[in-house]
Structure 1
Amino acid sequence: MTSAPSVTYVRFESPQRHERGHFPGVFALANGLARAGRLTAAQQRFWRAGNDWFDAAYPTPDAAFYDPERYPGAVSWFKSTATHLIERVPGHLELLAAHGVPCREVRSADPGRVIYEDEVQVVVVPHG
């Protein structure tokens, strides 16, 4: 009898905690650069096109899943099977690197308590 393959989850995040205690993800970091007006015109075009592509490519979980009172520390993770999404992240990593913003890849078979799930991602409240 063979066991079902386990899903590994992938997240791209800052190695430094945000003031709310969690590690901001790659999109939050890139969005922060854009909001701060730090992107060049070419970077701004890349960022906008990238965000539009990701917004069209997969569902955006309801903002209620990120409510810090109800779901403290909730963050999104890609399922490792979502290769069509993960393979597009390096462009965002390059954008961050150009501004000296560190971002790391983290993998886990059990990133936390799942509060939202679809075909390509989960939103979890991290364990303890």
Structure 2
Amino acid sequence: MHVGVFALANGLARAGVLSEDEYAHWRRSNDWFEAAYPEPTATDPSAYDRSVNPGAVAWFKLSAVHLIERTELYAELLDAHQVAWERVETSDPGRIVHEDDVQVIAVPRPGETNGPSR
């Protein structure tokens, strides 16, 4: 199971390892994403429910270039703190449990793993 770039960067912030400037950039970026795009669980609380949708992860649609580009800050934070990450793309993320204009949340098929595209 891959952890998404947001979760990895949020982990750095929670661990208190970001500098003041890094934390400010991270906070502004999270605030922007939260204001610009509603959290899928606001409309479907079961989207990430592990008992209903085990292993569910979010994937940006490749057409959401404007969002993918905005994840650069998160990648820079991870690089600066030597946190390994990789960009993953797929045309088949698994069983889709949520979809909107810019993303899908999908559960990997049995025997597969998946991870979010950065």
> For residue 4 of structure 1, what is the aligned residue in structure 2?
none
Partner of 1:28: 7
Match in the other structure for 2:115 = none
For 1:32 and 1:113, the matched residues in 2 are separated by: 27
| Structure 2 counterpart of 1:46, from 2, 25, 45 | 25
How do 1:1-128 residues align onto structure 2 when only pairs under 5 Å count? 22-62=1-41, 63-128=45-110
Note the alpha carbon deviations across 1:1-57, whole angstroms, 9 max, x for none. Answer: xxxxxxxxxxxxxxxxxxxxx211000000000001010000000110010111122
**In 2: Cα distance, 1:52 partner to 1:102 partner:** 24
1:43-100 CA distances to partner (integer Å, 9 max, x unpaired)?
A: 0001100101111222211042111111100000000001110111111100011001
What 5-or-longer segments of structure 2 have no aligned partner?
111-118
Letter in 1 for 2:12: L
Q: Please, which runs of 5 or more residues in structure 1 have no aligned partner?
A: 1-21
Instruction: Give the count of matched residue pairs.
Output: 107
Which structure has the larger Rg? 1
Which amino acid is 2:4 matched to?
A: G
**RMSD of Structure 2 on Structure 1 (CA):** 0.9
2: distance between equivalents of 1:42 and 1:70?
39
TM-score (norm 2): 0.87
TM-score normalised over the length of structure 1: 0.81
Give runs of ≥4 in structure 1 deviating > 4 Å: none
